[in-house]
Every structure is written in structure tokens, then in C-alpha cells.
Chains A and B, each alone.
Chain A
């Protein structure tokens, strides 16, 4: 594995044993994995919902940059950092 940030052309997706779902009791999205429950914030949820293994990291960043009216380069850097952390935890494959 290489250290550092993900390449713009990688196509991230949730690892097969990881599930993102809405929890009605807490009224929020939760990320479920073995022995782990994560409560991703709204931005992280927006990213994870686009991690379908088809969109590239660059495409995800472009889409969210439009949605949040933010500079694409900044969005791309933020997303890459967040996803790298989830890749290191084995929750996202890229």
C-alpha cells in the first residue's frame, strides 16, 4: 500500500462488509462494520453515498463542488483525506 492521498481516478466504494443506512431511532445515517459503529456527519454521508465504485474521486469532487458551491480543488483535497482514513480502517476500498 502506498501512503498518502488517493489518486483522482480511483473509484472508491464501501467494503463489502460495510453498510451505510438510515437509523430511524437516531434520525441519522450510520455506518456499520464489524465491531464498529460510526456516525458520519452530513458531508461525509454525501461523499459516501456517491462512493458506488463507478464514479471516480474526481467526479465525486466535481459533483459535490457544484452542490456546495465550493472550489473543486478544495473539495477534492478534503474528500481524499476523509476517504484515505476510511481506506486505512478497511471500510472503503479504492
Chain B
């Protein structure tokens, strides 16, 4: 990978993201005029176009971008660490842990805010933490590496366990709560205040930086644990950092958007087909592609049956399902 190739590839993905960012705000149930939205003659209070653009669409696009990039990056890292391109950020139970936290807070009717963050998100985040802690307490380091098969097993177990708790709480809840729960589980991007959206950026950005720093070590682990050890990679430490950082990033996103599936599976996969498996290039490209992908899915979700909205998780799943089947078929054939 030469420097020129590296920069060119990043440039292409950046262009794609910027194009998406330019078009997405114009897509929606109502047509808006940019000229009107930016017009200084109409006071903001009376400027409907500006309201739709700045208060309804932009924060949502921002959230979609952050969520898409975070899930794509986390997915790429999970796939590398588990050496399995069918792995995703939710494979180790992070999203079901978050769902448990969220559903619990809905059922208990907790709706306070702490530092501006709604209780729902706080509980969802701690649910995600709980799942990560549970999974990692079950897995030992043996002969300088995490036992990946145990890790997968623990993840699947955590997924079932928390899903059962969610069902139990759901069963006990009343009609309104039940609707709220279902809606949360579908995943959505309808948080529309800038404060919340912006507060997600620092932890996610920090996660990206850490993952980029260990990207070359992650490459070697994705090629094989023994060879990575023989090339001087501290495998168990990198595995631990990689898993925990990407789980926390995932948990942060899921806490605000609910479990938006398939982005974390599809985006890294498509990008890997284009740029190859080197994570130093794959991670930043997946970040930009994941952002663009979810922004576009959300644009579809907002317009398909307008003025009603489809939860974005439904769109990603409808696109993701067939893709997953294609992936499995392709793997079988090769």
C-alpha cells in the first residue's frame, strides 16, 4: 500500500460521504427550498424551510452519520478479531444488553435526564456494559490469546439471556410501554436535539483513534494468532483493547439509536471488497462508507411511506437480509 494509493482511496470515500451529506438534507416528506432556508429576510421563527432543515433533518443526518460510521468500524474490528466476516458489533451481546437496560427503564417509567442525557440511554449504555463484562468474565486468556470460540459462545449466550429478560419485561408491561419497547427495539434515529447528538461524538471519536493506533496489530491478528505472536504482537492485550473499545463504541451508539442491525455487518464487508482487508485503510473507509450508508437508508426510511416514517432498522434489515444470504452463498461456493 503506497501513500498515494492510500490518500487517493480515502479521497474517493470522502467524496462519496460529502456528496451524501449534500443531498440527504434535501430528501424528505416535504420539499424544502435551500434558498428560503438560508434566506436572511425571513425571520428564523417563521422560516418553515429552515426549521425542517436545521431542526428536523440535520441533527438526524448527523446522528445517522455518527451511528453508521461507529457501527461499521466496530463491525470491521469484530470481524478481524474473530477472523470471521460474518461477525458484527452485536455478535457478543452488546445490543441485547443495551436492549435490556432500555426496556427496563421504559417499563419502570424512569424518564429523568442526567446531564441532558435521557434515562433510557443511560440504562441502555449500562446494559451494554453489563453484557460486555459478563462475556469477558467467562473468557480466559490461554496460551497468550483469548479463546475466541469461548468468546463467541459466551456472546451467543449473552444474546439469548438478555433477549429472554427483554421478553419477560415486555410481557409484563402495559400497552403504551409495549409500543415504546417495540419501537426502541426496531432502532431509530429520531433524537433531534443537537446537544445529545454532539455528546456522542467525543467517546466515539476516542474509540476510533485507539482502534486506528492498533490497526496494524489487528491486521496481524486477523491473519492468524500464532503468526501475530511470532511477529511481536501482544495478542491478548490487543484483543482485549479491540473488543472492549469497539463494544463501548457500539454500546454508546445503541444507547441512543437502539439496535440498528446489519450496518455493522454489511458496511465493512462492502468496503473490504473494494479496498482489501488492511485495517489501516479499511477502518477510515468503513467509517465514511458506514456514515453515508446509514444516512441514505434513513433518507429512504423518511420518504418511502411519507408522511409516515419507517424505522431505519427495518430498512437496513430489509437490505441486509438478502445481502447476508448472498454472502453465505458466496462463501459456500468459494
- Judge: A and B partners, yes or no: no
Chain B residues at the A interface, C-beta cutoff of 8 Å? none
Chain A residues at the B interface, C-beta cutoff of 8 Å? none
